Amino acid sequence: MEGLWLLTLLFTGGRASSSSSSSCPVECVCYDGVVDCSSRSLTTSSLPQTFPSATTDLRLHNNHLTSLPYGTLDHLTTLHNSEIRLDI
């Protein structure tokens, strides 16, 4: 069993984290650090719960967002640009 765990670590690049921190939300289009979720009719309750940790540019404009859930952007340490417009 220990050999299987080692093999799993080798194939995942030594990462034991969940894939959600690196995969693109189905509601968005992702490329080169950009996560574009603009114009998707997203609401605060339908907003993806996680975004790729390597996101440098997050686009959430032209949606129906009235707020962002607390902590939504906390793990995005490489975020440089964002277009977030809230409908208040």
Domains and CATH numbers, the chain: 19-88 (3.80.10.10)
Burial of residue 70, with CB atoms counted within 10 A of its CB: 0-12 exposed, 13-18 middle, 19 or more buried: exposed
**Are 56 and 76 spatial neighbours (Cβ–Cβ below 8 Å)?**
no
Residues of the chain with pLDDT under 70: 1-21, 88
**Are 86 and 63 spatial neighbours (Cβ–Cβ below 8 Å)?**
no
pLDDT of residue 19: 38
CA dist 57 and 70 (Å) reads 19
CA dist 25 and 18 (Å) reads 14
pLDDT of residue 60: 95
pLDDT of residue 13: 37
**Are 56 and 33 spatial neighbours (Cβ–Cβ below 8 Å)?**
yes
